[in-house]
Amino acid sequence: MMTKSKRLSWGFFVFFIPVFLWLMLLIVLPHIELLRMSFARPAYLKQPGFTLSNYIEFFKEPIYWNTFFRTAMYSITVTMIVLIIGLPVAFYITKVASFKTRGFLTILILIPFWVSELIRVYGWTIILRESGIINHFMTKYGIWKQPIEMLYNDAAMIMGLVYTSILFMVVPIIGVMDSLDNSLIEAAYDLGAKKNVIWRQIIIPHCMPGIISGCIIVFMMVLGSYLTPNLMGGKNSMWFTEQIYNQFILYRNWNMGSAFGFLLLFMSSIIIWVALKLSGQSLKEVVK
Partner 1 sequence: MKKALLVLLVVLVCASVAFAGGNKEKAAEGNKVLRMLTWTGYAPQSQIDEFERLYGIKVEATPSSNEEMISKLIATGGSGFDLAQPSQDRIVSVVKSNGIYQPIDYSKINEDQLDPALVASTKKFTEYEGKIYAVPHVFGTSGLVVNKKYVKKNPKDLDYTDLLDPAYAGHVSYRCKRPILCAMGFAMGYDVWDLYNKPAEYQKMLDAVGAKLIEGKKVLKYYWENGDQLLQGMQSGEIWIAKGWEQGAWKLYKENPDIDYVAPKSGSMAFIDTFAIPAKSENVDGAYKWINFVLEPKNAAEFTNAEGYGTASKDAVKYYEPEAKANFERCFTPEVMANMNWYPTVPDGLESMEGKTLDKMRAAK
66 lines the binding site for partner 1 (CB under 8 A): yes
Q: Name the residue nearer to partner 1 (CB basis): 7 or 277.
A: 7
63 lines the binding site for partner 1 (CB under 8 A): yes
Phi, psi of 53 (to 5 degrees): -60, -35
Q: To the nearest whole angstrom, how small is the minimum distance from the Cβ of residue 158 to partner 1? A: 17
Report DSSP letters for 170-210, one per residue: HHHHHHHHHTS-HHHHHHHHHTT--HHHHIIIIIHHHHHHH
Q: Name the residue nearer to partner 1 (CB basis): 146 or 196.
A: 146
Q: Name the residue nearer to partner 1 (CB basis): 153 or 279.
A: 153
Residue of 33, 130, 181, 186 that binds partner 1 (CB under 8 A): 130
Q: Name the residue nearer to partner 1 (CB basis): 170 or 232.
A: 232
64 lines the binding site for partner 1 (CB under 8 A): yes
Contact 227, 117 (CB under 8 A): yes
d(CA 67, CA 51): 24
Per CB under 8 A, the segment of 81-89, 123-131, 138-146, 171-179 that binds partner 1 is: 123-131
HEC-encoded secondary structure of 214-279: HHHHHHHHHHCCCHHHHHHCCCCCCCHHHHHHHHHHHCCCHHHHHHHHHHHHHHHHHHHHHHHHHH
Span 208-267, contacts to partner 1 by CB under 8 A: 230-231, 234-236, 238, 242-243, 246-253, 256
Phi, psi of 139 (to 5 degrees): -80, -30
Q: Give the distance from CA 46 to its chain's centroid.
A: 39
Q: Name the residue nearer to partner 1 (CB basis): 145 or 288.
A: 145
Span 22-51, contacts to partner 1 by CB under 8 A: 42-45
Per CB under 8 A, the segment of 57-65, 160-168, 173-181, 200-208 that binds partner 1 is: 57-65
Residue whose C-alpha is closest to residue 164's, from 80, 227, 236, 244: 227
Q: Which residues of the shown chain bind partner 1 in the complex (CB under 8 A)?
A: 7, 10-11, 14, 42-45, 61, 63-64, 66-67, 129-131, 149, 152, 230-231, 234-236, 238, 242-243, 246-253, 256
